[in-house]
């Protein structure tokens, strides 16, 4: 996949359904907004811009707002409920996309595959094409709607409640995979200093040794660490140029 040279932007649409109650307490709107809250630091660290709906909106007004600008993806966050005759009996994750949307289907497949890594029953995570959900059928951007689990099922509802942060991280990892950009953990933002035995430290466009070099930092130079990847790279700001450098050549200063 070709690497992007600009920051993608998504429309983030957590559920506004404050009338859908979890069997364990709380509402769909409440917990899906917690997931969106937890996603925000990962989105910022990974350079994914976003616009987000608000709890006083509806699905219809979220679609209208999304369609007023250009977004690379419309992502709706929901939890599910079975029909009344089967209340509490269903479990599983369902990821919806519009049948003729190639990008919507690709995003849905990536999200589903990654959710299989954290949902207790991976065989019960599926992608489903649909024309009946407005947030995939009426959006200008490719749309994906995730039903993370069944909130009328005690085990499924508790899984969401207990794994808000894990779900958020997993979904943003899927977004970075979809956009072809690095996933960056947001837990640093510290000052550092370059520490090499000789020569300079290469600052690269992406966190791999084959990526283009965008700057060179000499031993002892100050450098700002913005985040880290899970395979030994720091995301850095070196005199206004943001890129990636190997973590073993940067000493972090005390906070």
Closest alpha carbon to 143 in 73, 77, 79, 52:
73
Asked whether residue 135 is domain-assigned, the answer is yes
pLDDT exceeds cutoff 60 at 75: yes
Tokens of 6: 């600009």
Residue 196, domain CATH:
2.30.30.40
Domain membership of residue 3 (yes or no) is no
DSSP-derived secondary structure for 94-135? EEEE-TT-HHHHHHHHHHHHHHTTTSS-GGGEEEEE-SS-HH
Same domain? 22 vs 138: yes
Beta strand pairing call for 73-80 and 9-14? parallel
Please tell me the total count of domains within the chain: 2
- In terms of domains, do 195 and 96 share one? no
Cβ-Cβ contacts under 8 Å for 104 (sequence gap 6 or more): 97, 98, 136, 142, 143, 144
Residue 2 resides in a domain: no
Residue-level pLDDT at 253: 83
C-alpha to C-alpha distance for 224 and 147, rounded to whole angstroms:
38
**What b/e sequence results for 149-183 when a residue is b if at least 16 CB atoms lie within 10 Å of its CB, and e otherwise?**
bbbbbeebbebbbebbeebbbbbbbbbbbbbebbb
pLDDT, tens only, 213-222:
999 999 999 9
Do 153 and 64 lie in one domain? The reply is: yes
Same domain, yes or no, for 58 and 111? yes
Same-domain check for residues 146 and 205: no
C-alpha pair distances (Å), 171 with each of 36, 124, 146, 214, 242:
10, 17, 10, 29, 24
CA 88-90-94 angle, to 5 degrees, is 130
Q: pLDDT for 135-150, tens place per residue?
A: 999 999 999 999 999 9
pLDDT band at 62 (very low <50, low <70, confident <90, very high): very high
Domain containing 214 equals 190-252
Tell me: do 104 and 226 sit in the same domain. no
pTM above 0.75, yes or no: yes
Same domain, 76 and 165: yes
Q: What are residue 145's DSSP bridge partners?
A: 76, 96
Confidence bin at 255 (pLDDT 50/70/90): low
Same domain? 98 vs 145: yes
CATH number of the domain where residue 135 is located: 3.40.630.40
Boundary of a domain, candidates 149, 179, 209: 179
In a domain, 4, yes or no: no
């Amino acid at each position: 996949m070709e690497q992007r040279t600009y920051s993608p932007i998504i429309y983030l649409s957590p559920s506004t359904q404050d009338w859908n109650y979890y069997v364990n307490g709380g509402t769909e709107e409440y917990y899906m907004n917690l997931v969106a809250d937890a996603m925000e630091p990962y989105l910022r660290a990974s350079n994914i811009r976003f616009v987000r709906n608000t709890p006083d909106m509806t699905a219809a007004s979220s679609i209208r707002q999304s369609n007023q600008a250009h977004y690379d993806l419309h992502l709706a966050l929901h939890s599910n409920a079975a029909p009344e005759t089967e209340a509490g009996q269903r479990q599983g994750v369902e990821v919806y996309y519009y049948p003729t949307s190639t990008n919507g289907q690709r995003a849905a497949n990536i999200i589903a595959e990654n959710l299989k890594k954290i949902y207790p029953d991976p065989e019960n995570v599926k992608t489903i094409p649909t024309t009946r959900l407005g947030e995939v059928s009426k959006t200008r951007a490719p749309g994906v709607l995730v039903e993370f689990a069944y909130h009328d099922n005690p085990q499924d509802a508790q899984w969401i409640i207990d794994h808000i942060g894990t779900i958020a991280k997993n979904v943003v990892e899927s977004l970075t995979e979809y956009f072809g950009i690095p996933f960056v953990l947001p837990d640093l933002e510290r000052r550092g200093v370059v520490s090499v035995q000789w020569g300079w430290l290469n600052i690269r466009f992406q966190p791999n040794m084959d990526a283009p070099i965008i700057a060179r930092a000499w031993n002892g130079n100050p450098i700002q660490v913005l985040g880290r990847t899970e395979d030994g790279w720091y995301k850095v700001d070196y005199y206004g140029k943001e890129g990636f450098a190997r973590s073993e050549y940067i000493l972090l200063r005390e906070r």
